[in-house]
Amino acid sequence: MLKELSLALVQDPAAASFEEFEHRLRELVRQYPRTQLFVFPEQHLLGAFDPSDQADLARHAEPLDGPTGRELARLTAELGVWLIPGSVLESTDSDLVYNTLVVYSPSGELAASYRKIFPWRPSETVEPGADFTTLRIDDAGTIGLTVCYDAWFPEHSRQLAWMGAELLVNVVLTPTGDRAQEVILVQANAIANQVFVASVNAAAPRGQGRSLLVDPQGRILAEAVGAESTVLAATVDLDEVRRTREYGTAGVTRPWSHFADTDQPIELPVYGGRITPQTWQPKL
């Protein structure tokens, strides 16, 4: 059964204003009229924001239902698309600030929000989130939400796959030379969990680019070879996740089907938990 999702991964430099972002999104919707989901990089709406500057942090932070949130809701309702505009700085009643990925539906609703669990310390001074987030997109399937440095922690991708994510969306702002290693991590997380992974980094001058889309076998479906502004447009069949798990990576490897019902639990002291063979099965 086809579970197709058409997406556009927009590797752009940060928008200088909301008006610039709106103009760009309208242009993209005209250019890619059949695309369901548009994804922009981490902190895309924050311009030249400095994550280590507390004054800058306070200046850009606002509640999710604040002015920026209302404008995003208006825009997506008018255009009728799913939108991940990157991440925003979310302020709370307790004066905490989070780096929060937001997803808006074609009806203009805030469909999901995810607070980055692993801020890039010491440079990023926001509060860490605590909750993993997945979201159903139309009839296509389930996406898992991740922000930048989350990808370096394999537990994060594994948890989202366990929760039923078939596509991991990782919005990124990597200005440093370790983007080369992140590209490998994207493929590794896809292979280890047998899921699609989309990694959308910012373009130059601030970001290192090299955005990419990888399938459940770790094959690169689309990639930006450099840091220039570009759009990766693709349609994926999320049912490929089920097929890969059923028939195996490269036709042979099925880690989600590894255990027998008679196997004993495997203790994981570092987490204070265990793998229970009888329940080793992700939700789909």
Which amino acid makes up residue 161? A
Count of CA atoms in the C-beta half-sphere (13 A) of 33: 1
pLDDT of residue 59: 84
Separation between Cα atoms, residue 242 and residue 197, nearest integer Å: 15
Say what angle helices 179-193 and 154-162 make with each other, to 10 degrees: 30
Closest CA to 137 of 159, 106, 161: 106
Q: What is the mean pLDDT of residues 140-151?
A: 98
pLDDT of residue 2: 77
Residue 263 is classified by DSSP as P
For CA atoms 64, 68, 70, 73, give the dihedral sign: negative
Domain boundaries, the chain: 4-253, 259-284
pLDDT band at 283 (very low <50, low <70, confident <90, very high): confident
Which amino acid makes up residue 237? D
Strands (E), the chain: 4-11, 37-39, 82-84, 87-91, 97-104, 110-115, 134-137, 141-147, 167-171, 196-200, 212-214, 220-223, 230-237, 266-268, 273-275
pLDDT of residue 49: 77
Separation between Cα atoms, residue 61 and residue 98, nearest integer Å: 8
Q: What is the mean pLDDT of residues 115-126?
A: 93
Tens of pLDDT, residues 246-274: 999 999 999 999 999 999 999 999 999 99
* Phi, psi angle pair for 248, to nearest 5°: 100, 150
Collapsing DSSP states into helix, strand and coil, what is residue 128? Answer: coil
Distances, alpha carbon 40 to alpha carbons 146, 172, 260, 261, in Å: 13, 9, 42, 43
Separation between Cα atoms, residue 14 and residue 22, nearest integer Å: 13
- Using a 10 angstrom Cβ sphere, with 0-12 exposed, 13-18 middle and 19 or more buried, the burial of residue 4 is middle
Closest CA to 143 of 116, 119, 170, 117: 170
Tens of pLDDT, residues 35-54: 999 999 999 999 887 777 77
Task: For domain 4-253, give the CATH number.
Answer: 3.60.110.10
Residues labelled catalytic: 42, 116, 148
pLDDT of residue 52: 72
- Using a 10 angstrom Cβ sphere, with 0-12 exposed, 13-18 middle and 19 or more buried, the burial of residue 242 is middle
Separation between Cα atoms, residue 185 and residue 111, nearest integer Å: 28
| Residue 66 CB neighbour total at 10 angstroms | 13
Collapsing DSSP states into helix, strand and coil, what is residue 167? Answer: strand
pLDDT reading at 150 higher than 80:
yes
Tens of pLDDT, residues 200-215: 999 999 999 999 999 9
pLDDT of residue 118: 98
Cα end-to-end distance, the chain, whole Å: 14
pLDDT band at 220 (very low <50, low <70, confident <90, very high): very high
